[in-house]
Amino acid sequence: MTDKGISLAVIKRLPRYYRYLGELLENDVVRISSKELSEKMQVTASQIRQDLNNFGGFGQQGYGYNVEYLYTEIGKILGLDRKYNIIIIGAGNLGQALANYTDFERRGFKIKAIFDINPRLIGLSIRGIEVRMMDELEEYVKKEEVHIAVLTIPKTKAPKVAQDLVSWGIKAIWNFAPVDLNLPKEIKVENVHLAESLMRLSYDLKTMQENEENQETGL
Amino acid sequence: MTDKGISLAVIKRLPRYYRYLGELLENDVVRISSKELSEKMQVTASQIRQDLNNFGGFGQQGYGYNVEYLYTEIGKILGLDRKYNIIIIGAGNLGQALANYTDFERRGFKIKAIFDINPRLIGLSIRGIEVRMMDELEEYVKKEEVHIAVLTIPKTKAPKVAQDLVSWGIKAIWNFAPVDLNLPKEIKVENVHLAESLMRLSYDLKTMQENEENQETGL
């Protein structure tokens, strides 16, 4: 089954479905109706049915959806039935935090190596993975099979490091630096812009405060 | 100037504008046309003009936009001219990583306290802020002015802690736990679901790999 032509909006919703189904599975729920799932996920039952119809429906009239089957199928669509080798560039707090997320490994994302320029971090062991020096990076990437490089380095360094990684064969980058990497279209980049996320919250807070102020002044 | 009725899509784009304008400002650029900005941001010039027209235009025909003015105005819209007190719940790697982001403070987000249940972390000093025990949390929130609580705790703990925080007066939560908090609508929640972000990347990688496999088999 290919999933060509599925809208990006639907694809973006899949990880959330996957997360909810995983919880249902952990709680030994065998089947669920679109109505029950919609109540849990705060999404309309019709949206759920429409979304899942893109992938062959899965459900059966009167039965609902088999949780394990749906979980597995969505997992395949998300590529989670495959294994991915990940390297982390930047062994500061954020890099170490990501290295310690055991959740990733459960889903097939194995952190194979961590790199840094700081000599004091070299040799530090994070969940059994030793921090290596940046000058070992090129050889490592060319020799080993690396699917995803995670950038947890300063924004001044990230674009150049990303370019190098791509020139050595990396096809996918998970970027935490607050800068656009400007890589060729075929390189898959997922940006996590933490400051932008926080700014959305400040916008919401400010709107809330302004509404309160307007109410007080009787506007 | 109120910004009622501005579409959510536009609001979501503002932090990115803010980031680019900040860089232009750092590089001493005084003014920029929508065309130049569009080339930088890989967004159409007409989208830029449309977006900014929601906020009074700012630009002048033939002049373009004054970078500093635009940066400041968008900053105000995003609430960045205000100061926000932030507390971090969970002093593990991720909590410490966020506490160390000096970028947040530059934008008016001041981390005032960090809390944890692990006795071994109590008293640890992160950029001058001491880790406190969770049982001090209620008194702290009720006594001090806290705008945003950041949750970097396990998903099993997050919903209850979030409920408690809200009952003590917190209005905004930045949530890193991979779970929906199910809080009242008026509480502003910004979720950073790292596993979902990584899943989008695996979906892209898988699509790329499938395309390559299809080419090889001549499909």
- Report the alpha-carbon distance of residue A100 to residue A80 in Å, rounded: 19
Inter-chain touch B77–A203, beta carbons under 8 Å: yes
- Report the alpha-carbon distance of residue B213 to residue B219 in Å, rounded: 9
Q: What pLDDT does A2 receive?
A: 44
Q: Map tokens 């395949």 to a residue.
A: A76
**Nearest-CA distance from B188 to chain A in Å?**
7
Burial of A88 (0-12, 13-18, 19+ CB in 10 A): buried
Inter-chain touch A42–B180, beta carbons under 8 Å: yes
Inter-chain touch B180–A15, beta carbons under 8 Å: no
| β-sheet bridge partners, residue B86 | B111, B148
**What does the block give as tokens for A195?**
């400051």
Inter-chain touch B171–A205, beta carbons under 8 Å: yes
Q: What pLDDT does A82 receive?
A: 87
Residue ranges for chain A with pLDDT beneath 50: 1-3
- Cα–Cα distances in angstroms (integers) from residue A117 to residues A65, A92, A131, A134, A141, in the given order: 50, 10, 10, 5, 16
pLDDT digits (tens, 9 = 90+) for A115-142: 999 999 988 998 889 999 999 999 999 9
Q: What sign does the dihedral B196-B202-B206-B207 (CA atoms) show?
A: positive
The DSSP call for residue B64 is B
Taking chain B (219 residues) in runs of 10, the rounded mean pLDDT of each run is 65 90 92 91 90 73 84 88 93 90 84 95 90 96 96 95 97 94 94 88 86 75
| β-sheet bridge partners, residue A125 | A130
The total number of residues shown for chain B amounts to 219
Q: Residue B171: name the closest of B103, B74, B79 by CA.
A: B79
Helical pair B34-41 and B45-53, crossing angle rounded to 10 deg:
110
Quote the Cα angle for A172-B150-B9, to 5°: 60
Contact B70, B57 (CB under 8 A): no
Q: What pLDDT does B1 receive?
A: 37
Task: Choose from B2, B84, B93, B175 for mutation: most chain A CBs within 10 A.
Answer: B93
| Model confidence, pTM | 0.79
Q: What pLDDT does A136 receive?
A: 96
B36-41: list long-range contacts, CB under 8 Å, 24+ apart. B36/B64, B37/B65, B41/B16, B41/B17
Q: Residue B69: name the closest of B78, B58, B77, B61 by CA.
A: B58
**Nearest-CA distance from B66 to chain A in Å?**
22
**Nearest-CA distance from B174 to chain A in Å?**
7
Contact A140, A87 (CB under 8 A): yes
The DSSP call for residue B122 is T
pLDDT digits (tens, 9 = 90+) for B13-60: 899 999 999 999 989 999 999 899 999 998 999 999 888 887 666 667
Q: What pLDDT does B169 receive?
A: 96
Inter-chain touch A199–B2, beta carbons under 8 Å: no
